[in-house]
Amino acid sequence: MPQEREVRAVPQRLTSKDEFRTLLDRQRAEGRTIGVVGTSGGLHAGHLSLVERSIADGNFTVLWLFTSGSAGPYIEAGPLPQYDRDYDRDERVAMEAGIDVLFRPPREVLFPQGSPLVRLQVAESLAEPWPGSDSAEFVNMVAMMVGKELNVVGPCRLYCGEKDWQNAAVLRRMVADLSVPAEIVPCPTVRGADGVVLGSRNVKLLPEERARAVDIKPALDEAAAAIEAVVTGGSRGIGRAIVQRLAEEGASVMFTGRNPETGLGLEKTLRDADLTVRFVVADSAREADVRRAVESTIETFGGLNTVCHNAAATDQTGPGRPDSHVAEIDEDAIDALFGTAVKGAFWAAKYAVRHMREHGGGALINISAASSTLAMKGRPAYQASKGALNALTRQLAVDYGPDKIRANGIIVGFIDTGSEVIKRLTEGNGRFITRVRELIVLPRLGAPADIANGVLYLASDEGSYVTGVLLPIDGGYTCHLNVGDSASIQTYQP
C-alpha cells in the first residue's frame, strides 16, 4: 500500500554526497522508501511522469540531475556534451513537480580521485545496438552512470521510461547480477500530440525527420498486436485446435508434444496452408524440455507474448486406468498427472515471464477442467492436479500483473475431441451420453474449436483487461445445480 506522503513546502537542493546519503538514511529509518528519477537534463513531460509515478507510489522522491560535468568521466563517445542544457530551468521544473530533494553533484564530489579506473562492461548480447537503440558505448555509459547513482543512493526504486527499453533491460540485469538493492520500475512512454516520443534528442529532429517519426507508433502498435505463442500439448485434440486457431489469426505458434510423428505431421499440414507454426518434441513435466521450447519460440519468432499450457497426462486417467480410485492409484500415475499439469505450468511460466516482463508483458493461459471445481467420481489425481493448476493461475496473475503479464485459465467442460478417453467413455454407453446432456445447459457437447476461441480471446488485445479469471467454456455445466425441475422439489418448511 502506498505510504503517506510527507508534505514539504520547499524541496531540498543538495550537492554534497555525504549530506545526501545522510538525508536518505534518515528517511529510510523513518520507514520511507526512496524513489529515484535520474536525468541528464532537458526536463519534459516524460521525466515529470516518472516523478508523478514515484510520488503516487508514496516514495520520498529524489531527482538526480546528471550534468555534463558530473557525468564527464564516463563519457567517451556519448551524446551529452552535444546537448544545449539549461540546468537551472530543470531545477525549477523539478521542484515545482513536487520532488522531495534534488541532487546535483559537481564532478569533484562524485569523482574525487579523477576519472574512474574501474568500469562496468555490459555483455555484447545486451550492449550491442538493437534495432533503433543506442550505441554499445552509450549503453555501457548508462550502466556506469546508473551503477554509480544506485551505489550512492542505496536501497531504492529507480523509475525509468519504457522508451529506453534496452537501457531498462540492461539495468534490470545489472541489479540482478550485482545484487544491487534496487527495484527498476519501467513506466509508460509519453508521446507528443503527433505520436512522437518526448525525448531530449527528438527535439533536435528536422521537420522531415519528425514527419517520418510519426509513422513509427502505428507500426509498433501493429507489431505489438501480433501473437507469438507456445502451446504445450498442441499435437492433437484441444491443443491442435488452439494451434490452428491462433495461426489462422496470424499468430506465430510453437507447439509441443511427446510424439514426433504426430507433431511433425501437424506442422507440415499447417505450414502447407501457409500458417506460421513449428513443432518441438517436449515432455511438459521436464523442466529442460519446456525451457528449450520457450527459448526456441523466442529464437525462431523473435519474441514470445503468449503461453498456453494445455498438456495433460490423459493416458493415466479414466476407466481401467491407474487414476480411477485413491485406494488403487500408484505413485507413477500421480507423478505423471501432477508433473504434466502443474510442474509443466510452473516451467512454462518460469521461463516465459523472464522474457515477457522485459518486452511489454504477455498472456499466460492454463487449460483446466470442470472437475477441478466440481468433484466427480473417479480420476482423483487428475482432478487434484487441475485444482492445483487453478491456484497457480491466480497466483501468477497476482505476482506478474504489475509487469503487464495476464494469467487466466479455461475451465473445460465435456469436449468431443475424438480422443481415446472420449471413445472409452461413450462407445456403447448410451447412459453416459444421456447423463452428460442432462448436466449441460446447451444442447450439444463442446468442440475443440470452442476452447480455441477462448484462448484466442484471452491472448488478444480484446482480453487485455482480464486476469486471474477461470473462464468456464462448458456449455453451462458448472453454472447450475442439477437436481431436477423445481416443480419436482418439495419446498422446505421450517
d(CA 466, CA 300): 28
pLDDT digits (tens, 9 = 90+) for 169-210: 788 889 988 999 999 988 888 888 887 777 766 777 778 877
Same domain, 179 and 231: no
Three cell numbers written together for 372:
477441478
- Greater confidence (421 vs 25) lies with 25
Predicted pLDDT at 276: 92
Q: For residue 221, tell me if it sits in a domain.
A: no
CB 99 within 8 A of CB 51: yes
Shared domain for 262 and 180, answered yes or no, is no
Can you tell me which residue has the cell 492454463? 366
- Is residue 239 located within the same domain as residue 308? yes
Please report, for residues 57, 91, 178, 263, 411, the alpha-carbon distance to residue 5 in angstroms, rounded to integers and kept in the order given: 9, 21, 31, 57, 43
310 and 455 assigned to the same domain: yes
Question: What is the arrangement of strands in the sheet containing 306-309, beginning at the earlier edge strand?
Answer: 277-281, 252-257, 228-232, 306-309, 362-369, 405-412, 470-473
- pLDDT at position 14, please? 94
How far apart are alpha carbons 301 and 229 in whole angstroms?
Answer: 9
- Does residue 200 form part of some domain? no
Residue 494 within a domain: no
Q: Does any domain span residue 196?
A: no
Share above pLDDT 90 across residues of the chain, in percent, rounded to a whole number: 46
User: Which of 44, 47, 309, 359 is the catalytic position?
Assistant: 47
Note whether residue 409 is domain-resident: yes
Q: What does residue 187 show for φ and ψ, rounded to 5 degrees? A: -125, 155
- pLDDT tens digit sequence for 157-179: 999 887 777 788 788 889 988 99
- What pLDDT shows up at residue 374? 80
Q: Is residue 230 included in any domain, yes or no? A: yes
Name the nearest CA neighbour of 244 among 406, 455, 417.
455
Q: Is the pLDDT of residue 399 over 60?
A: yes
Does one domain contain both 180 and 230? Answer: no
Range of the domain at 76: 12-190
Average pLDDT value for residue range 314-329: 66
Question: Residues near 79 by Cβ (< 8 Å), separated by ≥ 6?
Answer: 138, 201
Chain mean position to CA 309 = 15
What backbone torsions phi and psi does residue 244 show, to the nearest 5 degrees? -65, -40
Which of 59, 10, 54, 51 shows the shortest CA–CA distance to 30?
59
In which band, very low, low, confident or very high, does the pLDDT at 482 lie, cut at 50, 70 and 90?
A: low
Work out the burial of residue 218: count CB atoms within 10 Å of its CB; fewer than 13 is exposed, 13-18 middle, 19 or more buried.
exposed
470 forms beta bridges with: 409
Residue 222 pLDDT level (bands cut at 50, 70, 90): low
Picking from 165, 190, 215, the residue at the C-terminal end of a domain is 190
* CATH assignment of the domain containing 283: 3.40.50.720
Question: 419-464 pLDDT, tens per residue?
Answer: 555 555 555 555 666 777 777 888 888 889 999 999 999 999 889 9
Q: List residues bridging with 38 in a β-sheet.
A: 64
Q: Rounded to the nearest 10 degrees, what angle do helices 237-248 and 448-459 cross at?
A: 50
What secondary structure does DSSP assign to 282-326, as a single string?
A: --TT-HHHHHHHHHHHHHHHS---EEEE----GGGBSTTSSBT-T
Q: What gap in Å lies between CA 430 and CA 452, rounded to an integer?
A: 28
For 348-358, write each residue's pLDDT tens digit. Answer: 999 999 999 98
Let me know if 320 is exposed, middle or buried by CB neighbors in 10 A (0-12, 13-18, 19+).
Answer: exposed
**Residue at a domain's end among 169, 190, 211:** 190
32, three cell numbers: 520511507
- Predicted confidence at residue 186, as pLDDT, reads 83
Residue 216, in any domain of the structure: no
pTM for this model (two decimals): 0.56
Q: With helix as H, strand as E and coil as C, how does 316-335 read?
A: HECCCCCECCCCCCCHHHHH
Dihedral pair phi/psi, residue 312, rounded to 5°: -155, 145
pLDDT of 493 higher than 60: no
Domain contains 71: yes
pLDDT score, position 486: 44
- pLDDT value of position 1: 47
Is residue 141 domain-shared with residue 249, that is, in the same domain? Answer: no
Nearest by Cα to 175 from 143, 153, 199: 143
* Cell 508433473 -> residue: 339
Q: Is 372 helix (H, G, I), strand (E, B) or coil?
A: helix
484 close to 377: Cβ distance less than 8 angstroms: no
Averaged confidence pLDDT in the chain: 83
- So what's the pLDDT on residue 121? 83
Q: CA torsion angle for 444, 447, 453, 454 (degrees, to 10)?
A: 70
Same domain, 281 and 394: yes
Reply yes or no on whether 480 is catalytic.
Answer: no
Same domain? 161 vs 32: yes
Using CA of residue 109, residue 111, residue 112, residue 114, what is the dihedral sign?
negative
Which pLDDT tens digit goes with each residue over 120-144?
888 776 666 554 555 677 778 888 8
Do 136 and 266 share a domain, yes or no?
A: no
What's the CA dihedral at 268, 269, 271, 274 to 10 degrees? 160
Which residue type does 97 have?
A
Rounded to an integer, the average pLDDT of 360-378 is: 87
Per the CB < 8 A criterion, the answer to whether 279 and 251 are in contact is no
Average pLDDT estimate for 398-414: 95
Q: Domain tally for the chain?
A: 2
Same domain, 238 and 124: no
Same domain, 238 and 156: no
Phi, psi angle pair for 467, to nearest 5°: -155, 150
Summarize pLDDT for 34-73 with one digit per residue, the tens: 999 998 888 888 899 999 999 999 999 999 998 765 555 5
In this predicted structure, which of 117-131, 326-340, 394-408 has the lowest mean pLDDT? 117-131
Other CB atoms within 10 Å distance of the CB of residue 173? 17
Same domain flag for 17 and 151: yes
The CATH number of whichever domain residue 18 belongs to comes to: 3.40.50.620
